[in-house]
Structure 1
Amino acid sequence: MVTFTQTNIFSQWKLLQVILQDEYLSDKYNAAGTPVERVKFYKLRSSLPHHSLSCCLLVATVAVAGIFIRPTFLAFAFPPVFFWLQRGLGSKIIGLGVFHLRILIFTLSAIPATVIFIVIDSFYYGYLTVNEICEFKIGLDNFVVTPLNFLKYNMNTDNLSKHGLHPRYLHFLVNVPLLYNVLGLMSLGAVLSLVYRGVRRKWSDLPRVQSIIGLMTSSFFIPILVLSIFPHQEARFLIPVTLPVIFLHSQRIRHISNTEQRCHEKGTAYNITFSRGSRRSMLLTLWYFINLVLTIFFGFLHQGGVYSLSTHLAAEMRLKPRLTALHLVTSHTYSLPLFFLQQTNSRRSLFNRQTGKRYHLARQFYSYEMGSTPLEVVHMKLHTLLEICELKKNEKRLDYRLYLALPASLMEEFYVTASNLTADLDFSVEKVFYPHVSTEALPDIFHLLSDECMNYDTQTYCERETLYLSPLKFLSRFVQQFGLTLIRIRR
């Protein structure tokens, strides 16, 4: 999306230059006093490249491709495409008729790419086959419109609840400051300022629709407003607004206080100094500090144990026999990226030259994501998987290993839940991976300050020393909460 906007702006600038030259030559042509001058300006005007419908097919095709790849692309593409369509509007040579003609041609230019993508998706998902085309048994049910299915799925709150429901103000109040911190707050403040000017009807203080400020402001505000309609909101959805945020507000935190000009024989040199004590320098320092903190948190601490867990399991699977299946249940943490395990594709059909038959490799790894479901449900899932694995082991003599990946902050609750349930599960801590911060299961500080604690090694309760008598022990227990525990489940 950023590249699309940059290309659009560059194309827009070149076309505006052509429009200005066309308008200039048109005025010169009308003011010419002799036929010779009229012919001269007419030839110069005719030599200019055609600008009104230039690149219309290309821009429409790119827009359609983006929408089929990710339908929310429409929210990000609308401001630059509209800005591109109304270029030169209000000049002497371009009126509303030309603007409406551009919209019509742009819509027609999008039809070929739309049909091609619908046919490709219909073949890919098996709704349309060559035999049906040959027999002319084609109906509307044979075609798949991916963006339409995307909208139908996301308009259903029950579907979004599987991925997590968020308040609709999350993008504005949390995700924008989280992604851009100081710049994000400035962007939101600028939008509120524009809304205030609009309410007060100070139209002269608002940016012009055809200005670059108007384009960048709408490219920031409109996509976030559209995405806020859906109750599932993640910060990564807003990454395409990076370009407008930087373009509009980066200069506000970087202040040039003094410029000295010095002349030399070969030219002019400029000595630029920055004011260290200015307010903008303080904002820049704050911006650096927040980015450093967030880099450490999201780059190393947040879900940091997932990578260590994946490398541990990958090494274990390389050592174990190939007929051993490994089952991993994840709770209150991210699911394990399967590509880290470097497993062969069990769905791929292979051919045995000796027997002349096709076969599939046995699947070695099974992953079960439980999300933030209660630990009672996780225990029942483990009990069910254990019964299934034991049955396959007795019937087919296939060995197995069953693991649970759980944040260390939930270990005490896991033990308590296991003792309250009747399911006979034998489990032991295989390894704990540090650091690992799971926002779905942050440590309960008030519980850590209570009078009792769980001894994970002996699975018995022990009395805890008060905080002021043993602060180092409390700090040690607190730090140990930020880990990812791998639990081996047995019968």
Structure 2
Amino acid sequence: MWRRLYLCLVLVRLYFALSPSYIHPDEHFQGPEIIAGEVFGYPSYKTWEFTSSQPIRSIFPFWLIYGWPLTVLKWIWEGLGYGPVPPSIAFYTLRLLMFLLSFILGDWAIHELIPAINQRRTAIILVASSYVTWTFQTHTFSNSIETLVVLWSLVLIIRLRDNIQDTQASASGVLAFLGVLGVFNRITFPAFLVIPLAQIVPGLYYKPLRIPVMLFVGLFTLAVAITMDTEYYSGRRPHLRGFHNDAVITPWNNLVYNADESNLAKHGLHPFWQHFVANLPQLIGPAIPLLFFSSTKNTLFWSGVGGIAIISAFRHQEPRFLLPAVPLLLSSIKVPRRGARWWAGLWVLFNVLAGTLFGVYHQGGAVPSQTWISQQHNIESVVWWKTYSPPRWLLDGKNHEVTTTDLMGMPGQHMIAQLEESAACESAANGTLLVAPSSATFLDAFTGDATQHSEIVFTRQWQYSRHIGLDDLDFGDDGVWPTLQRVIGRRGLTIWRVSRQC
């Protein structure tokens, strides 16, 4: 019975992986936006993390995780005579890749970490039924990669801890490799391993040959990572003679940046308890009480709790920073027999609602809109309003032809004023597009039947219905219920052609 349930949950995960929802800009701009430009030559938009004098994002994990699958895709696609790879194909290839990594490596790691059969089955079902697994883990987040690296690091740590009779050179070397990969992927990675790593110290004493193996593999991987980053950011291949002066060490730059609270203030400061009190409940919902009253205080539990406690020292805190802790904590809880059906019902309801929101509707029209725009001709500029930043790499190389302007949450009147300046005449060959949520009632005065006097004309071109933008919430002015009615009842993303009467 549990195998059938697990198979159904895997299919649910695949469905959400292939749904074009958009949870956070970093899933594009800290991965695909960069690597797609390198592999396919697409003009891509680089955020400040890649363009500052002290860049904080490493290219090493991008090539390792995303680069080779896209390169293979390019060889196959072009080898079959189909021409350049369309960005939409590359997008869904990466989503399928993340699904396979989550399904194979993630679930396999849990199988390895929990030896007791009944507890293992419970853990696998809980993790497989979590909306975090369906959505975040199947998107191209560095946090999703961090989750997998943490899980397999724990697998190797426990192997080394439980067997101090053998050197286990392979496990020692792979652990060192994963350690370097994890740090270059995200500097928060070591926080989840601080407590477990203490358990392998006795093994290093009894089998000291593990130390040179770890040092050799770790230093070699470190050298490769730093060389790749230095070549990427400097534009030239580094030489050994001047390596110590020219080397770009992105994890160190990242740590220095995040240690300065004035930098974190640009992204939002949160109290130290934000992760435990607000962010973790958003991710695991009804499982929170079981962590306190019905859980096994094992290595997985303390790895998750310890990691959350350590990264809470950084004042900027987002729920996705806790992704590595989710499978660890869910694998530690025990569902009590008393009230199990009620709890299971709450768990299913919580994850179905959250999965539907984040896996289907959340900014769900952004990717399809870019795909549609890439297929149009005579488009000079595209203005995005009240949406997440659009992934430029999905424009299929038209970045040089199409100017993308991200107005974010700019007040409506200012947005209209900017459109009046940029829109061409109705008879002009090239046009301007406005991409905006259908729930933006401000536009009704310009697009409805009784439009107010304006120099610009809006013509609906395309609409995608499965789109909800939480950035369009305005509880303060509109009230809670009217806001929800507007955002959910008028869900969708609309593309308007904007022109001036002249």
Tell me the TM-score range normalised by the shorter chain.
0.5 to 0.7
Aligned partner of 2:253 among 135, 149, 170: 149
Corresponding residue for residue 227 of structure 2: 119
Q: Name the structure 2 match of 1:344.
A: 397
Larger Rg belongs to: 1
Aligned to 1:288: 348
CA gap of 1:365–1:184, structure 2 versus 1, over 3 A, is farther
Distance 1:156 1:299 in 2: 34
Q: How does 1:74-89 map to 2 (within 5 A)?
A: 74-86=190-202
* Match among 325, 331, 352 for residue 379 of structure 2: 325
Shift of residue 437 of structure 1?
Answer: 1.9
Q: Residue type matched to 2:351 in 1?
A: N
Tell me, yes or no, if structure 1 residue 334 matches structure 2 residue 388: yes
Identify if the C-alpha distance between structure 1 residues 124 and 480 changes in structure 2 by more than 3 Å, giving closer, same or farther: same
AA aligned opposite 2:332: L
TM superposition shift of 1:377:
4.3
| CA distance 1:149–1:415, change in 2 (3 Å) | farther
Contact 1:83-1:215 at 8 Å conserved across structures = no
Which one has more relative contact order, counting CA pairs under 8 Å at least 6 apart?
2
**What's the counterpart of residue 435 of structure 2?**
405
Match of 1:305 in 2: 365
Equivalent residues of 1:63, 1:77 under 8 A apart: no
In structure 1, how many angstroms separate the alpha carbons of the residues matched to 2:267 and 2:422? Answer: 24
Code of the residue aligned with 2:434 in structure 1: it is L
Deviation at 1:6, TM superposition (A): 4.7
Q: How does 1:49-64 map to 2 (within 5 A)?
A: 49-50=166-167, 55-64=171-180
- 2:335 corresponding residue in structure 1: 252
The structure-2 alpha-carbon separation of the partners of 1:54 and 1:326, relative to structure 1 and needing over 3 Å to count, comes to: same
- Give the corresponding residue for 2:313: 229
CA contact (8 A) 1:325 1:400 kept: yes
The aligned amino acid for 1:65 is: L
Secondary structure class of the residue paired with 2:234:
coil
Unpaired segments ≥5 residues, structure 1: 20-47, 88-93, 195-211, 256-277, 347-362, 451-466, 468-473
CA contact (8 A) 2:468 2:487 kept: no
Equivalent of 1:434 in 465, 468, 471: 465
Q: Deviations over 1:332-391 (max 9, x none)?
A: 2123334554x1377xxxxxxxxxxxxxxxx233322222333344345435544xx78x
- For residues 20-46 of structure 1, the C-alpha deviation after alignment (integer angstroms, 9 at most, x for no partner) is xxxxxxxxxxxxxxxxxxxxxxxxxxx
TM-score by length of 2: 0.57
For 2:171 and 2:311, the matched residues in 1 are separated by: 29
The residue aligned with 2:7 is none
**Structure 1 counterpart of 2:412, one-letter code:** L
Structure 1 CA distance for aligned equivalents of residues 485 and 331 of structure 2: 46
User: Aligned to 1:68, which of 149, 159, 184?
Assistant: 184
Do the aligned residues in 1 keep the contact of 2:384 with 2:408 (CA within 8 Å)? yes
Alpha carbons 2:153, 2:179 under 8 Å: kept: no
Task: Give the structure 1 partner of residue 49 of structure 2.
Answer: none
User: SS of 1:248's equivalent?
Assistant: coil
Correspondence 1:192-231 to 2 at 5 A: 213-231=297-315
**Correspondences of 1:35-54 after superposition (within 5 Å):** 49-50=166-167
Q: Which residue of 2 aligns with 1:369?
A: 406
Deviation of 1:293 after TM superposition, in Å, equals: 1.5
Q: CA deviation at 1:63?
A: 0.3
Contact 1:177 1:184 in 2 (8 A): yes
Counterpart amino acid of residue 228 in structure 1: S
**Judging changes above 3 Å, is the alpha-carbon distance between structure 1 residues 158 and 2 closer, same or farther for their aligned structure 2 residues?**
closer
Q: Name the SS of the counterpart of 1:489 in structure 2.
A: strand
Aligned to 1:125, the other structure's residue is in SS state helix
Q: Pairwise CA RMSD of aligned residues?
A: 4.4
Identity of aligned residues (%): 24
| 1:121-158 Cα deviation digits (max 9, x unpaired) | 1122116546xx49x5x275411001012223334556
SS across alignment from 1:297: helix
Identify if the C-alpha distance between structure 1 residues 429 and 252 changes in structure 2 by more than 3 Å, giving closer, same or farther: same
Taking the aligned partners of 2:409 and 2:402, their CA distance within structure 1 comes to: 22
Q: Which moved more, 1:240-249 or 1:479-488?
A: 479-488
| SS state at 1:372 partner | coil
One-letter code aligned to 1:368 = T
Does 2:283 correspond to 1:176?
Answer: no
Q: Assess, with a 3 A threshold, how the Cα gap between structure 1 residues 14 and 443 changes in structure 2: closer, same or farther.
A: closer
Please give the alpha-carbon distance, in whole angstroms, between the structure 2 residues aligned to 1:54 and 1:344: 43
**How many Å apart are 1:213 and its aligned residue?**
3.4
Separation in 1 of the partners of 2:163 and 2:273? 43
Structure 1 residues 213 and 108: alpha-carbon distance in aligned structure 2, compared to 1, 3 A threshold: farther
Which deviates the most, 289-298 or 230-239?
230-239
Could you tell me whether the CA contact under 8 Å between 1:8 and 1:84 is conserved in 2? no
**Residue 491 of structure 2 corresponds to residue 485 of structure 1:** no
Looking at structure 2, the residues matched to 414 and 150 of structure 1 have their Cα atoms a distance apart, in angstroms, of 44
Confirm or deny: 8 A CA contact 1:128 1:142 kept in the other structure: no
Could you tell me how far 1:110 is from its partner in structure 2? Answer: 3.2
Q: Which residue of 2 aligns with 1:242?
A: 326
SS at match of 2:440: helix
Q: Under a length normalisation based on structure 1, what TM-score does the superposition of the two structures give? A: 0.58
SS of 2:331's equivalent in the other structure is: helix
In structure 2, the residue matched to 1:454 is none
Conserved? CA contact 2:167–2:209, under 8 Å: no
Distance 1:232 1:301 in 2: 26
Instruction: State how far apart, in whole Å, the 2-side matches of 1:218 and 1:307 are.
Output: 38
Task: State the 1:64 CA deviation.
Answer: 0.9
The match for 2:10 is none
AA of the residue aligned to 1:411? T
SS state at 2:167 partner? coil
In structure 2, do the counterparts of structure 1 residues 444 and 117 end up closer, same or farther at CA, with 3 Å as the change threshold? closer
Cα pair 2:191 2:310 within 8 Å, conserved: yes
Residues 239-285 of structure 1, C-alpha deviation per residue, up to 9 Å, x if partnerless? 22232112211x325x3xxxxxxxxxxxxxxxxxxxxxx31221112
Q: Quick check: 1:408–1:483 contact (8 Å CA) kept in 2?
A: yes
Instruction: Please say if residues 432 and 483 of structure 1, whose CA atoms lie closer than 8 Å, have aligned partners that are also in contact.
Output: yes
- 1:282 aligned partner, one-letter code: W
Distance 2:280 2:224 in 1: 36
Name the SS for the 1:213 alignment partner. Answer: coil
